Every structure is written in structure tokens, then in C-alpha cells.
A and B are shown apart, each in its own frame.
Chain A
Amino acid sequence: MAKPPQALADLNHEFGPHPSYMPKGGWQEESRHTPDRLVKTHCCFCGQQCGIKLKVRDNAVTGFEPWEEFPFNRGMLCPKGVKRYMQSSHPDRLLDPLMRTETGFRKAHWNEALDHTVRRLREIQDKYGKDSVAVYGGASLITEKSYLLGKFARVGLGTKQIDYNGRLCMVSAGTAYKLAFDVDRSLIPWSEIPKADVLMVIGANVGDCAPITTDYIWRCRDRGGKLIVVDPRMTPISRNADLYLPVRPGTDLALLMGILHVIVRDGLEDKKFIEEHTSGWDAVVESVKAYDPQKAAEMTGVPPQSIEKAAHWFAKADKAIAMHARGLEHHSKGVENCLALINIALATGHIGREGCGATMITGQGNGQGGREHGQKCDQLPGQRSINDPAAREHVAKVWGIRPDEIPGPGVSAQEIMNLIHAGEIKALVNICFNPAVSLPNSAFTSEALSKLEFFGVIDFFMSETAQFADVVLAGSLQEEEEGVTCSAEGRVIHIQKATDPPGNAKTDTWIICELAKRLGKEKFFNYGSTREIFDELRVASQGGHADYFGITYEKIDEQLGVFWPCPTADHPGTPHLMTGGISYFPDGKCRFNSTAWRESGDPVDADFPIYLTTGRVVSQYLSGTQTRRIGSLVDIYPQPLVEIHPRLAEKYGIQTNDWVTVKSRRDEITLQANVVKTIRPDTVFIPYHWPNERSANRLTHRTLDPRSKIPEFKVSACRLFKANAAPVWAGHTEVEEAKRGTATTSRAPGMPDPLVNIETPHDGGRK
């Protein structure tokens, strides 16, 4: 049984999250010293992968300096980037492997923890079969680690069941781009964005979730470009939108089909481009016939005139770019949504030319690179299909095994959790994934995790998921190993090692290789460095679409990033994927894909009449394992609030700061209201970064897109009522406990005292 061994409060007391406000030793201590060196690397928080220089002293990251020469962000950083350095010496860092006891976690030696892990995995596989053990990976891992993890699952454990938290990110976009262009990457580098005459940004809260992209959009407007924003909420970028379309959650598809309807009706399509570069146009025309602006308006809540205007602006523009993110993708018809947008870009010939294209704004740190080299259940390195015999042969040769020894495709992240709940998967090895917070329907996830016969977690902090573990293997931060990531643009960049893992913590690659060795697979996992893993990955990816063969760490440093594909040593890389409108299909044509409307998986009705949509805030990253521990970030937005329009709020007698219970068909949570006119009156919004009683994912549902298997985070049905009293956690959050000082008293044996002290201003000050 893998229930948390202690009461939650005790676990949190021991392992955090404790919001830390100061670098090790305090501000003054830190200011007295100059760093030993500056390490040019990248921010770990989000797919923008901004260049940053980390200050390093005595094997700790102590601060940062902007890296102005790096072309993507030119020194710009969001608050997460500014404060990312606070993780390195964080008092919550796990410094030893931990093993569960009857009453809590105890420190263990590495041999004991690793041997125990492998013994249990072997016992379970012997009893229930190879596929009874699953592996969860994450898209914040450097590419070397995600490659290694895919190989570990298939060669080390021999299981087909591996998937990753990128499944909760942009997989709908990836699936759609494969269907339309046979390649899964942004078609353009960000330098194209300012060149467009029209930008259509749909389902992308750029200001909060991809802050650096804002400057690219503003530069486009300064050139005279027009900005169309499609979102149920006015997000920060809509302050300068030339056209704002307040789409009802779950109806993006109807809106996009309505826009294409107008383009066809008014003869605005690019006939030459369609003729020369595409197939499937006639069927698409047929599919949007019924979606006149009136019908689209009724379905979406967007005025018909706005739909007409968007269609005309986009189609008539010489150069236009469609940008999208999770708002379009987190739907049970996420793939169709993306295809409908791609259809518009294709129909108007806005593909393969300067200032034109379609781009997904990938969200996770290595969201792009993490999905290219083998931790997806259906893919092998190089973005190859695991069902493709040629791909299997190529990769098997690189790995030194027979093609038939590579397992077939497994199932997606949510489906793995479903199989755990159903008792088919008995053990889980988890790294860089916090499903207790990030998967939909948290109660179901907790139930499932409690059923595991063995649960091993590799992590640097005690995440809410690690609390369920039998063994927690203290792993490493991004800056503790050398490697690469691939940014949202498709730019492969160099992550420099800044420090060693602290205490007895080990690098993730060491931990994975040690597990493989103990599984008797040492000869396949004999790496002297991450560079050796990268060199193997380069060969494994060779000939695939995501071809890294010509990329080296040195070439990345020289060029400040290399865009894949890069097939040979003398190849400069490929910033533009679709030059001249040539796709990656053998015939070079792009595919139109017809779309058909269907309801979301959790429709509103008389009992649950309000749309719930979830998303992010600028100060937090994903499930918050890292950013909920950085006090200065927590202070920007300390608690999830439920955003409600004043008209809806009035109906329920709710005012800002009132406690409001939001109830869905699964569960209910009680949060404070933020009454704002910047959201549709039929919709409420809750950011999802918090666990347990504050978790938006208690409310969300497990409906998946049938092709991409992405959960439908962006639309659920709910009802509201004003709560009679504040919930029990009110007044006892991490920050409030820290301010009282009660969170600082007790630590696990051998662990340093936390540096929680938020008396501001601190000692020191102006000299």
C-alpha cells in the first residue's frame, strides 16, 4: 500500500513546501561575496528556455545575471527566471534517499534504497508480467534524461508502459501538426512573429505563461500589425488587442470553422497555394458549410461581426501567423481544434513564407525536446513511430538489442493512471511528474496511487506525489547536469552544469543507470557522462524527423542554439520547417483535415450550469513543486482565487474575497472570489498550481482526446455557492505558517534548518 505514511500536516512540516525568501546565509551574507563564476545556461521554468547566467559560489547557485547576448530573450526574464536560483540551496532539498516506514520516511543509504527498489520491481514483474510496471517521465527533464528514461523503460525494465507529463501539455498540437505536416514542431522561429501583418493568438495566455513572447507580439504591433486575441478571459495581452473574441469554453472549434466558412463564402482562400501545396480542401469546404457566422456566434458567444472581421483580417493579410497554446489544446477535441486552425492557415496560404506560419507555444521547460526522443508511449528517438519496423530496427541497432526486444506502444499518462486504478499496473517509477496535482480528478489519482504495490519516485523535493512513495530517490535540478533542451521555437540549446547535487543527492542519470545496472542491464547503460548519452541520442535520432545527428554541445555554443533537423556536422540547422510550403510527407504536400463538432466531455446542464476553465499564473510553474517553495514568487499570487464576472457574482451574492464553493460532478473546493470584468459571465477560472484542498484538478474530469489523449482541463461544468465559513486550511497556508515561524522548527534528522524568514526588509540595506 502506498498511502502517505504520515498525516499530511506532518509531512508538510517535515519536507515543505516551505517558502524560502532569501539566499543561503541571508541577503547581506550573499552581497558580501562575489560569485566564483557565471554559468551561461537557461531558465528551467517553461518552454521559452530563456538564456540566463547563474552566479555560482561554493557549489551553490547564489544569484543571476541577465544574458543579453542570447538572441531569444536578450536578457529578458520573467519573475520565475529572476528567482529560479533560489532552488539550489533550498532548505527543502532532499539530501538523502528516503524509505517509507510505518510512521514516516527515514533516511537510507543509496545501496539499500536502490537494491530495495529493484527487488520490488523484479518481484512484481515476475509475478504480474513485464508491463505491470510503468514509468512516468517529465518534460522538464533535459533531453538526455528523457532519452535515457525511454531506454530504461524499454531495455532496462522491458515494459511498454512509459509516458510523461507532456501528455498534459501540447500533445494535441503535436498530433495535429503530424496529421497536417507530418512533423511535430513550431513551423517558425519566434523572429518571424514581429514580421506578420496579423497575429491571431488563440487559447494562449502569453503574458502569464510565455511572458517573453509578449515583446515579440508588441514589436509586431509597433510595426503596424494587428492583434486578434481569442480567449474566454481578457488576459494581459488582450489589453492591446485590435480584436478580442471572447470565446465560450469548449467552442473554439465552432469559432474556427465559422472563420473558415467566411473565408470560403467570400472567396478569400489562396487558390494557388491550395492547388500546389495541399490535399483534402474539398472535404474541408464541405465540413464548414453549416458554420455560418450566425450559427458560430450562437455556439461560441462571439458576435458574428467579430467572426467576419477575424476571417477578413487574417485572410486578406499578406503575412499572418496563428499562435496557440493550451487553451486550444486541452480539450477532448483538442486535435480537431488545432487542425481547424491549421486549416485556416493553409487555406489562406500563410504557410512557408516570411512572416507566416502556425506555431504552438510549448509550455514545459523541455516540452519540445522531451517529446522527441522516446519517453512518449508511442515514439522512439528522433520522433519516430514505435510501430514503424524500420524505426525499430534502427533504434534496436543503436541500443544493441534485437528489434523484437523493443516493446510495442504503451498507453498515455492518464491511461496509465487508469490502469493503476484498475489494478493492472502494480508498480510505478516516477520522475519529474506530480500527478497528484496535475492529473484531472485528484481524488481518482490519490485512490490509484494508494493501490500501487510499489511506488518509486526520483525527485529533488518531496512533491505531493512523492508523499505516496515507498522509496524517494534524491535527484538533481536542471542545473546539476550538462545536457540539452529544445525550446518552443525548436531551438536546441545547451544546459550547462552549474553545481553538483547537494548532500547525498545524486544526478538523475546516475540514479537511472544504477537502477538499470541492478536490473542486470549494465552493458546498455554504461555512460561516463551525459555527453556520451547525447552522442548515442544523436545516432538514435539520425534519419528521423527530429534529427539531432549534426548537433554538438560545441555547435550550440557557437551558434547560440541549433534548430532541428540538423542531419550533418556541416548543417546549420533548420529554423524554418516549411520553407516554400513543403511538408514532411513523402509527397511534400500539406494535408487539410476535416473537423466535426462534438460536445465536451463534461457538458453544462441545469445542475452544473457554469463553465469552469483552468490555467496558470505568471509566478507559478506547473504543479508548483519548485515555485511554491520560492517565497518571493508565492507572494505574487499566494492562493488560487476563483475569477468570477460581477454579473455572475451578483446572482450568488458574491463579492471579492468571499469564500466560494465550486462544485463539479467529481468534487468541490472552496476558494476566495476575485470578482473581475475580465472573464465571460458564464465562466469561472481557477489556476491549478496548488495541491489538496486548493487543487483545481479536484474538479476536472478524465475525458481524453481520442487521438492525443490530452485531458480536457479547459472546460468542465460546475456550480457555485457562497460558503458559510472559510475552509479549515484558511489562515494555515505555507506562507501564513512561515510568517508565524511555526514552519521552521522541526526538520528531518540531518537536514539543515530552513531559511524561512520573511521579516522585510532584511538586515543589510543600502551601503
Chain B
Amino acid sequence: MFGYEFYLDPSRCIGCQSCLKACEECETHRGVSMINFDFIDRPDGIATAAYVCFHCEDPTCAQVCPADAIKSDEDGVVQSALKPRCIGCANCVLACPFGIPKLVPEYEQMMKCDMCYDRTSIGKRPMCATVCPSQALAYVKPEEMAAMRRDKPVNTFYFGEQKIVTKVYMMAPAERDSVSVDVVDYTWEQEDAYAV
């Protein structure tokens, strides 16, 4: 859908799994859900998180695919592995920094979220973001998002040395431009002190 973007805000997630169940209802892969859902650490807390594919600009899954089976479309949506090419090696499953692709052994194919191509191509919002009761998954116009939320959308992530820019946005504290998962980036000394 033109002018709409996908936003993830795990801090809103209530763990209801509506996204997971709704994804299962998709006409193109009915019965199989493409949502990644986690209880972060149930014994110690209530945090839960639901994820769709981040749809990277330069997808790691495609980079590591030995069969060149993973393609993005013109809108930047990364598709499931092409069935005739996929050899079921699971390289993509292991390499994705977000842990998104799933190998479905019964189909011998990697399957993943395609941001509901069947819906967005005919002017409907993706199913998970439409039903999500807490709007932890949201598919709205950027200006609406800016008006409604106090957190700031970011789509640049650093995994150590690897910089990843994604189509899907993650809501982060208002002062952030990017998200790093390296503790060094948050220390007082910064990385110089730990240079190797």
C-alpha cells in the first residue's frame, strides 16, 4: 500500500498471539504462520515480542543463499525462497540477524513473512498489523505514527560491525537514530578503550 510503513513496538506486545493466529488464516499459506513470537523470559517477567520479517535493504538471507533462491520485489519486500531453487540448506535461517526465516521441512523450502503481498497489493493492510490488539504491530502512514507515538521509528541496526537498514521500522526511545546490540556502544569508555 503506497505511503504506508510497517512498525514494530515490542514494548506494546501483550503476548496474545493474535498475529500468529491471524497469519495462519492467510489464503496463500493457510494453516502455517509466518510470525516469530517469543516469551522473552517468562520466569522473570511478562515481556513478550512478536516480529515479522524486517525486510532488509541488502538481505543477509539472500547474501548467504547458495542457490540464489531469495529475492526482493520492487517494493523491497523479501520473499520466501523460490521453491524450484531452494535446497533447504538453512543457511538463511542461521545467518539472519533477526532470526526470521523458517525452514518448513514438509515443503523443503524456506518460508517467511512477505508482508501479506496478497493483501497489500489490493489495498489491504497486512493481516497481523490489522488485528494486533495492542498495535505492537502497526501498518500506518509515517505522519500518523509521528502524531500518535512518543517513541521514534528507527530502521538502522548495528550488529557488531554489520550495519543493516530495513524496510520495517522498530520503535525506539525518542533520542535514538539507530539501534545497536553491542554493549560497548552503550559504555562510558566507548569502543576506543576496548580496541583490539
Which of A's residues lie within 8 Å of B, judged by CB? 22, 27-28, 30-31, 63-64, 66, 68, 73, 75-79, 81-83, 207-208, 211-212, 214-215, 218-219, 222-224, 234-240, 618-619, 632-633, 636, 646, 656, 674-678, 760-762, 764-767
Contacts and interface: CB of A to CB of B under 8 A. Distances in A.
Given A211-B14, A677-B44, A761-B107, A222 B134 contact: no
A762 B16 CA distance: 23
B30 to A, nearest CB: 4
B131 A766 contact: no
B137 to A, nearest CB: 10
Given A31-B30, A239-B11, A218 B21 contact: no
B46 A77 contact: no
Interface residues of B, number: 45
Nearest to A760: B31
Given A27-B30, A82-B21, A761-B107, A678 B46 contact: yes
Interface string B22-49: 1011011111100000000011111110
Contacts of B22: 77, 79, 82
Contact of B133 (A215, A219, A636): A215
B14 A237 contact: yes
A148 B87 CA distance: 63
A760 to B, nearest CB: 7
Given A78-B16, A618-B14, A676-B43, 6 more contacts: A219-B148, A236-B15, A237-B14, A762-B31, A766-B29, A766-B80
Contacts of A678: 45-46
B18 A77 contact: yes
Contacts of B11: 239-240
Contacts of A78: 16, 18, 131, 133
B115 to A, nearest CB: 15
A31 B27 contact: yes
B30 A632 contact: no
A121 B104 CA distance: 58
A82 B33 CA distance: 13
A76 B43 contact: no
A766 B17 contact: no
A218 B43 contact: no
B25 A236 contact: no
Interface string B108-139: 01010000000000000101001111110000
A685 to B, nearest CB: 13
B31 A66 contact: no
B150 interface: yes
A76 B14 contact: no
A764 B29 CA distance: 7
B30 A207 contact: no
B83 A214 contact: no
A211 B46 contact: no
30 contacts: A31-B28, A31-B30, A66-B127, A66-B131, A77-B131, A77-B133, A78-B18, A79-B17, A79-B22, A82-B21, A207-B15, A214-B12, A218-B134, A218-B135, A219-B148, A222-B148, A222-B149, A222-B151, A236-B46, A240-B11, A618-B14, A632-B21, A676-B43, A760-B31, A762-B31, A762-B32, A764-B31, A765-B107, A766-B29, A766-B109
A656 B39 CA distance: 15
Which residue among B17, B107, B148 has the maximum number of chain A CB atoms within 10 Å of its CB?
Answer: B17
B144 interface: no
B43 A675 contact: yes
- Ranked nearest first, the 4 interchain pairs of A and B with the lowest CB-CB distance are A207-B14, A236-B14, A211-B133, A27-B30
Contact of A211 (B47, B127, B134): B134
Contacts of B31: 22, 27, 760-762, 764
A66 B26 CA distance: 12
A224 B150 contact: yes
Given A64-B25, A646-B43, A76 B132 contact: yes
Interface in B82-102: 83
Contacts of A676: 42-44
A656 B46 contact: no
A219 B125 CA distance: 20
Nearest to A210: B133
A79 B149 contact: no
